[in-house]
Amino acid sequence: MATFSAAGEIKSQWGEGPVWWGDTLYYVDIEGHLVIAWHPGSGTEKSWQVGERVGTVVPRQSGGLVIAGDNGFRFLDIESGELSFLSDPESDKPDNRFNDGKCDPSGRFWAGTMHLNKPRQPVAALYRLDADHSKHKILSDITVSNGLVWNRAADTFFYIDTPTEQVVAFDYDSGSGNISNKRLVVDTMDFKGVPDGMAIDENDNLWVAMCHGGVIRCFDSSNGQTLEVLETPTLEVTAPAFGGADLSDLYVATGQSGITEGDPLAGHLIFTEDASVKGVPSFSFAG
């Protein structure tokens, strides 16, 4: 059984989007409007108030970070904390905001939006921000865009639109950044919780946070079979990421809600050293 501990002191309202880069784990507190950096080597953490709900953060090759939130894509200068505008593809949709995202192996930033009102409607989308800062709508009719990863061969893209309760795959062309040939990989309908953020390991297995369910499920990406289930000490798990010096630690962002009242770990970034495999390096934005 995996043992999880808190990483750092910050307790997010709704943590999301962990990504390991260099020697640091970056993630966001969506409702707290924070980008957070946890440095396990020194045990220090730093945060930046960005003044809006922020769904995801990725590193930038030339330095600093890139975020996607209420006001679209922005650069974040980690020295000054200043934001600079890049693009807002849904400025005409005040009931949507950006949610999860990652950079692909070619340095493009993929991030999707979600509909905020309930009942949620399929009026969101998945976008790709290229190194030349051009934006491209990749998928439409999305409701809550969430986990996304690429396999090691960089020829397959895996994706979650949470209300579908599915992980789907597409053929991925690393040269053009285009995807095609959608197919079902995992149906999570019979599992507790709903699929949220996702990581991939060195064996191309998929690690999916089952939000409201308190578990991280590992699936074989070739046939969708469950390989491992890690129970976590808090129910609102939102996204996993491999980190540490050799990518053998598993970090999990978490949130707070009505079902976590009285839970001291709810909202904390948590981690375990008991993951059975290692992750793969993350990618940074090339623009």
Task: Please tell me the distance from the alpha carbon of residue 200 to that of residue 209, in angstroms, as a whole number.
Answer: 12
More confident residue, 1 or 167: 167
Stated pTM of the model: 0.97
- The pLDDT > 70 percentage for the chain reads 100
CA distances from residue 252 to 6, 93, 207, 218 in whole angstroms, order as listed:
10, 30, 11, 14
Band the pLDDT of 274: cuts 50, 70, 90. Answer: confident
Tell me the backbone φ, ψ of residue 260, rounded to 5 degrees. -115, 15
Instruction: Give catalytic residues, as residue numbers.
Output: 196
Quickly name the fold that domain 5-272 has. Answer: Neuraminidase (2.120.10)
What's the rounded mean pLDDT across residues 272-287?
95
Dump pLDDT digits (tens) for 211-266. Answer: 999 999 999 999 999 999 999 999 999 999 999 999 999 999 999 999 999 999 99
What's the rounded mean pLDDT across residues 16-40?
98
Dump pLDDT digits (tens) for 102-133. Answer: 999 999 999 999 999 999 999 999 999 999 99
Whether the per-residue pLDDT at 276 is higher than 90: the answer is no
DSSP class of residue 177 equals: -
Domain boundaries, the chain: 5-272
